[in-house]
Amino acid sequence: MCVFQTAALGLGLLLGMPLPALAAGSPAASSSPATSTATAPQTVPRTILALVDLREESTIRLSRIHTMVELPLNHLGLSVVYWNVADGLPDLSRYPDLRGVVTWFAGEPFADVGAYVAWTARAMDRGVRFAVMGQPGVRLERGGKPVPLALTNRFFARFGLRDDDGYSDLTYKSKPALADGMIGFERPLSGVLPGYPLFRKTDERFVSHLVMRRGDDPAGDSHLVVTGPAGGLVTDGYSRYFDAEYNRRQWIVDPFAFFRDSFATGDLPKPDVTTLSGRRLYFSHIDGDGWRNVTEVAPYAAKRVLSSDMVRTAAVEAFPELPVTVAPIVGDLDPTWKGTPDSLEAARRLFALPQVEPASHTWTHPFQWAFFKDYSRQNEAPFLERDGGRKPGKGDEHAAEEAGEVSDIGRYALPRAYLQQPFDLDQEIGGALDYFTRLAPAGKRAVLVQWSGDTSPFEAALAAVRKAGGVNINGGDARFDADFPSITGLPPIGLPVGAERQIYAAGSNENTYTDLWTSRFYGYRNLVNTMRHAGSPIRLKPFNVYYHMYTGQKAASLNALVSVLTAARGQELAPVAASTYARIAEGFYTTRFEPLDGARHWRVRDRGAMNTLRFDGASADTVDFARSSGVLGQRHSQGSLYVALDPAVAEPVVALAETDRADRDPPAALPYLVEGRWAFSGLSAEGQGQGERQGFRVAAAGYGEGAMVWRVPRPGRWSVTAERDGTRLWSGAAEADADGRLALTVPVTAVAPLLLRFRPADGAAG
C-alpha cells in the first residue's frame, strides 16, 4: 500500500469518514489491544482503583468519586476502575497497571478495619499511592465498634500524620495557620468551618497544604490536607462545599493539584481527548426525538414542515463546515412502525449532506434502560394500552413531543416510546445501525449509537454495540455556567459498566437548559458559557453541540441553536464526526506508554484513534524530533505542550527536550504541524532536495477550508498543492516568516482525504 493510501485510511478512521477497508488493515486498527503480545513490555501505570461502598452510594454512576474525582483524574491522564468494598478487599494482582487507590467514604464500610489497614500497607509497600477523601474508614468498624487508636494511627502514619485523639467541634476560634494555593479552588474557607480531628504531622517528607489552628497556640495545629511520597489525604469536610438547598457542589481543594501530587503525575504523558491537530476538538450530534413534530416557526408552520427539516435548513445546511451526526429513531421513520414518507425522506435528505454522519438513536427509543435488562413482555403488558405512538385527533398538529426526554428523567410514563413489538436488543442496537446504513448514501455507514431516555445502558446493551462493530455516546449532562458554577458539573470521559464502557457526551443537550423542554426554550444559548469554561483556563472538554430534533419546533430554541453554531464558527476548532470522538475516548482507556532508554522517552501503544498527548507545566519543553518518530507536530497552549501523533504510525515514539524560548515555535530540523483545522496523516519528506531545501507531503481530511500552520526549517516562499487520486485540485503559495512559521488556508473541501505537497518555491526540492 502506498504512503498516501495508508495515510488516508488512518484519516478515515480518525474522522469517521466513509473510506473502504477501515475495519481491518489500517494503521490505527493495527494498534488495538488485541495485537499486543503475551510478553508485553512494562508500561507506565495509569490505572487508579476507586474503592466504593455501594451499600451507601447504590451506583457507581452517582458516586462521589465518579461525579467529582474521575474528571480531574482523567485530565491528569489516569483511568479509573471501581471496586465495591461490600464484596471484600480486591486482589491487587488483578491490576498490573495500578498506579494508585482513591477512596471517599461517608461512613465506616469495613467489618475488619485491621484487615483493611494491613491491605493498604501491603499496597503502599509495593509503591501504590493512596488518595483519601472524606471519612478514612478506619475509626469505626461497621456497626459502630470503635477501632483501637494504635491501629488507626498505623493507617495515618502512612500519610505522615498522628491522630492525637482530639476533635475540634467548635471552630469559631479556629483559623488557617497555613493555606497554600491548593486551598480555595472554587470555594474559599469561610463561614462556620466543619469540625476536624487533631492531626499532628510526624513525617517532614509530607507537605501540608492546610493547617488549622485553635486560637493562637501552635501546639493545637492540625494538618488537614497533606500530600507526600505515599499519596495524599484530605480531612472530611475540607475537600468540597455542598449547598443542600440548591444541590450544588464546589471544590475547596484544588483537585488537579491534589491528585497530581498524590499520584505523581507531573511527568506523565497524558492522552488528551479534547484536542486534535493542536486545536480544540469540535463535534455535534442530534438525537432524533421530535423528528416528526411540525414546526411552529413562521412561515413554515403553515406548510407543516417537520422539525427535522427545519433543523436541516437552519442549522445543518447553513453551516456546511461544521459536521453533525444525525441519529433518528427507526420507529419514527419506518412505515411499518410510526414512520411516514415525509419522515423517511427527511432522513435521506440529511444523510445525503457531505457534513452529516448517519447514526442511531435506537429502534424503539427505550426511556428506562434498566427495565429491559431482564426483559419480559409480560412486564410490559400494563403499558401496551398507552403506546407512545401517534394517535391524532381533530386539529392535531403533531407538535407535542412523542419520543423524547421530555418527562422527568426516571419517571417516564412508558418504558419505551414504541411498544407494538416485543423488545429485541439485537434489533434495538445492530438492527437500527444496519437500517440507517441502508438509508444513507453508498459509502456512509452508521456506527454510533446515541443512548436514549435515561442514557443508562446496561452491560449487555453496551456489549451489543461493540459486537455490532459500533461505538456509543450520551449521558453525562455536562454543565459549567452560572447555574452550575463548578467543574463538578462536568462528567468524566466515560463510565465503566461491567466489562463494557459508556462514553459520555462532552456537552449537555437542551433538556437541562429548558427544564426538560417545558420552559425557557431559548436556554440552550447558554451552552457557550459551559464550552468557554470547559476550555479555559485549562481545556477539559471538546466543544460539543448536542441537541434533539424538537429544537426545530420552536423559534426560540432554533434561534438559540443557531447562535451556538455561530459562536462555534468563530472559534479555532478542529471539527470531526461524533463517532470519531467516541473512538478517541475509547483510545484514552487503552493507551499505554512504554518507557524507553533515557529520560522522558516513551513508545505509545494501543492508542486506537487517540492522537494527541499532553504534557503539563511544559512551557520550556519541546519534542526531541531526533529521538522521536511518528510525531506530526507540537503546540504550546495554557502552559502545556500538546503533541500530535501520526495516525499512519501504529506505535510512535515521543521524546522531550528543553527549549530556550517559550514564546515561539521551537526550531526543528524537520517540518512539523503547529495547528490546523483538518486532521493530518502520513507526514513524510518528498523531493530531491536535502535538509532545508527538501519538501514534504501529508494526507489531510476535514470539514471547511483547511486553515493550518506549519513550522518549516526554511523561511521564505513555499508552493503548496492539493490533489486527490492524482488530480490536482488547487495550488498556491505561502510565505514562511523568519522563524519558519508557514500559515496558509487550502480553500477546497477535504471531506474525502487530500494529499498536500509542500515545496520550497525555488523548486530545489524537486
Phi, psi of 144 (to 5 degrees): 100, 5
Weakest mean pLDDT among 81-95, 238-252, 716-730: 238-252
Instruction: Determine the average pLDDT of the residues in 74-88.
Output: 98
Last residue in a domain, options 576, 603, 625: 576
Instruction: Determine the average pLDDT of the residues in 115-138.
Output: 97
67 and 176 co-located in one domain: yes
Give the pLDDT of residue 384. 87
Q: Give me the CATH number covering residue 97.
A: 3.40.50
Weakest mean pLDDT among 41-55, 75-89, 374-388, 443-457: 374-388
On the question of pLDDT at 390 being above 90, the answer is: no
On the question of pLDDT at 386 being above 90, the answer is: no
Q: What angle do CA 422, 428, 430 make, to 5 degrees?
A: 135
User: 656-688 burial, b if ≥16 CB within 10 A, otherwise e?
Assistant: bbebeeeeebbebebbbbbbbbbbbbbbeebbe
Of the candidates 753, 722, 742, 757, the residue with the CA atom closest to the CA atom of residue 633: 742
On the question of pLDDT at 463 being above 50, the answer is: yes
Give the pLDDT of residue 313. 98
On the question of pLDDT at 402 being above 60, the answer is: no
210 and 330 co-located in one domain: no
Does some domain include residue 379? Answer: no
Instruction: Determine the average pLDDT of the residues in 15-41.
Output: 39
Does some domain include residue 254? Answer: yes
Q: Is 151 left (phi over 0), alpha (psi -120 to 50) or beta?
A: alpha
Give the pLDDT of residue 7. 55
Cα-Cα end-to-end distance for the chain? 23
Q: Could you give the number of structural domains in the chain?
A: 3
Assign 496 a pLDDT band (cuts: 50, 70, 90). very high
Would you report the helix, strand and coil content of the chain in percent, each value rounded to 5? Answer: 25, 30, 45
563 and 599 co-located in one domain: no
Phi, psi of 34 (to 5 degrees): -65, -20
Does some domain include residue 471? Answer: yes
602 and 488 co-located in one domain: no
The sign of the torsion formed by the CA atoms of 256, 262, 268, 271 equals: negative
Helix axes 3-15, 578-590, angle to 10 degrees: 100
65 and 104 Cβ atoms separated by less than 8 Å = yes
Does some domain include residue 311? Answer: yes
Mean pLDDT of the chain: 91
Q: Which helix (H) or strand (E) holds 256?
A: helix 255-263
Instruction: Determine the average pLDDT of the residues in 265-276.
Output: 96
71 and 34 co-located in one domain: no
Give the pLDDT of residue 398. 38
Q: Which residue has the higher pLDDT, 404 or 492?
A: 492
Of the candidates 155, 70, 47, the residue with the CA atom closest to the CA atom of residue 110: 155
Q: What angle do CA 749, 755, 757 make, to 5 degrees?
A: 115
On the question of pLDDT at 2 being above 50, the answer is: no
75 and 270 Cβ atoms separated by less than 8 Å = yes
Instruction: Determine the average pLDDT of the residues in 280-287.
Output: 98
Domain span holding position 116: 47-268
Weakest mean pLDDT among 12-21, 195-204, 308-317, 404-413: 404-413
Weakest mean pLDDT among 19-33, 210-224, 369-383: 19-33
Give the pLDDT of residue 405. 37
213 and 246 co-located in one domain: yes
471 and 449 Cβ atoms separated by less than 8 Å = yes
Phi, psi of 20 (to 5 degrees): -70, 160
User: Percentage of the chain surpassing pLDDT 70?
Assistant: 90
Does some domain include residue 647? Answer: yes
Give the pLDDT of residue 261. 98
On the question of pLDDT at 469 being above 80, the answer is: yes
Q: Is 144 left (phi over 0), alpha (psi -120 to 50) or beta?
A: left
Instruction: Determine the average pLDDT of the residues in 284-288.
Output: 98
551 and 668 co-located in one domain: no
Determine the 3-state secondary structure of 205 from DSSP. Answer: coil
Q: What angle do CA 157, 242, 545 make, to 5 degrees?
A: 110
298 and 245 co-located in one domain: no
Assign 14 a pLDDT band (cuts: 50, 70, 90). low
Assign 244 a pLDDT band (cuts: 50, 70, 90). confident
231 and 351 co-located in one domain: no
CA 582 to chain centre: 8
Give the pLDDT of residue 468. 98
Q: What is the pLDDT of residues 574-616, one digit of tens each?
A: 999 999 999 999 999 999 999 998 789 999 999 999 999 999 9
Last residue in a domain, options 522, 549, 576: 576
Does some domain include residue 434? Answer: no
Query: How many other β-carbons are positioned within 10 Å of the β-carbon of residue 569?
Result: 14
What DSSP letter does each residue of 621-666 carry, written as one string?
Answer: EEE-TTT-BSEEEEEEETTEEEEEEPTT-SS-EEEEEE-S-SSSPP
Assign 37 a pLDDT band (cuts: 50, 70, 90). very low
Assign 388 a pLDDT band (cuts: 50, 70, 90). very low
On the question of pLDDT at 755 being above 70, the answer is: yes
Does some domain include residue 114? Answer: yes
Q: What is the pLDDT of residues 148-169, one digit of tens each?
A: 999 999 999 999 999 999 999 9
Give the pLDDT of residue 12. 59
Give the pLDDT of residue 407. 31
Joined grid coordinates for residue 323: 459536521
Assign 23 a pLDDT band (cuts: 50, 70, 90). very low
Last residue in a domain, options 240, 268, 296: 268
Beta-carbon contacts of residue 189 (< 8 Å; ≥ 6 apart): 176, 179, 183, 210, 238, 252
On the question of pLDDT at 762 being above 90, the answer is: no
Query: How many other β-carbons are positioned within 10 Å of the β-carbon of residue 203?
Result: 15
Q: What is the pLDDT of residues 515-548, one digit of tens each?
A: 999 999 999 999 999 999 999 999 999 999 999 9
Q: What pTM does this model have?
A: 0.93
747 and 643 co-located in one domain: yes
Give the pLDDT of residue 413. 82
Instruction: Determine the average pLDDT of the residues in 434-446.
Output: 97
663 and 559 co-located in one domain: no
Q: Where are the alpha helices (DSSP H) in 76-133?
A: 113-125
Give the pLDDT of residue 17. 54
607 and 471 co-located in one domain: no
On the question of pLDDT at 38 being above 80, the answer is: no
Assign 30 a pLDDT band (cuts: 50, 70, 90). very low
Assign 247 a pLDDT band (cuts: 50, 70, 90). confident
User: Percentage of the chain surpassing pLDDT 90?
Assistant: 84
Does some domain include residue 581? Answer: no
Determine the Cα–Cα distance for residues 643 and 633; give it in Å rounded to an integer: 6
610 and 651 Cβ atoms separated by less than 8 Å = no
On the question of pLDDT at 39 being above 70, the answer is: no
